[in-house]
Amino acid sequence: MYAICVLGNLLIILAIFSDTHLHTPMYFFLANLSLVDACFTSTTIPKMLVNIQMQSQAISYAGCITQMFFFVIFAELDDFLLAVMAYDRFVAICHPLHYTVIMSPRLCVQLVLLCWTISVLLALPQSLLVLRLSFCTHLEIPQFFCELNQVVHRACSDTFLNDLILYFAVVLFGGGPLAGILYSYSKIASSIRAISSAQGKYKAFSTCASHLSAISLFYGTIMVVYLSASAAPRSASTAAASVMYTVVTPMLNPFIYSLRNTDMKKALKRLLFHK
């Protein structure tokens, strides 16, 4: 699954950059999302595979902090990029005549840089604040990776500040992009309803179908993880649900964006078979 995830996302990136027809804002954001998905999975799964091979579940303190830092960065980047892609679809459908002017190459690069900056600024304090905590000698995390919330709540010292920053980040990281996505799609839905022909409605909706599937998968799996974690913090179902959003979702994204997309399928054929 890890190999399919990395290979699938790298193929999407190569197909986009090798085909001039795909040098548009939508595919620029998709290439960035594919890169983030490959990195997101790579923060946890290689270490898990090594642990399975070595028959050891240990991770060093420095390794745990580093894993948490990069995991938070790429999880937040995934979320922010999905929101940026929703804005791109909003402009394309609601303001088609001004699309190329609004979504200029400069703005696209600025939006991606903004996503990176916010993600790093949110991840840095959360990870650094873990350094101030003291832990017991034998620390067991009921996960297959160092999940921030699980690590913080295994501390022997006061975690009030960590919890405060964590809740603030969750509201900003979860609520902000989700609100942007919901607003964009409410406007898109209004615009699609105003289209008179059925064919026009289908064409407009089909440009959003892949993105909507990716959003549903991303938020759906995260909700399952945290609902199952709150119901049974140490259950195997929590770890299984975590696999869904750390491996399955990034693995499925290339299929979601390529199977329903004629341009992407043509680009992949040209890349793989030189046709």
CA–CA separation, 29 and 39 (whole Å):
15
CA–CA separation, 42 and 194 (whole Å):
44
pLDDT at 226 (0 to 100): 66
pLDDT at 235 (0 to 100): 56
Whether the CB-CB separation of 36 and 22 falls below 8 Å is answered with no
Model pTM?
A: 0.88
Write out pLDDT tens, residues 193-251: 887 777 777 777 777 888 888 888 888 877 776 666 555 555 566 667 777 778 888 88
Q: Per-residue pLDDT for 275 more than 70?
A: no
Write out pLDDT tens, residues 78-95: 999 999 999 999 998 888
- Determine what percent of the chain is predicted with pLDDT higher than 70: 92
- Report CA-CA distances (Å) from 255 to 2, 43, 171, 269: 14, 21, 30, 14
When the pLDDT of each residue in the chain is averaged and rounded to a whole number, the result is 84
Neighbouring residues of 133: CB distance < 8 A, sequence distance ≥ 6:
152, 155, 156, 157, 159, 162
Q: From start to end of 113-249, where are the E strands?
A: none
Three-class secondary structure assignment of 79-121: HHHHHHHHHHHHHHHHCHHHHHHHCCHHHHHHHHHHHHHHHHH
Among candidate residues 228, 246, 227, 226, the one with its CA nearest the CA of residue 236: 228
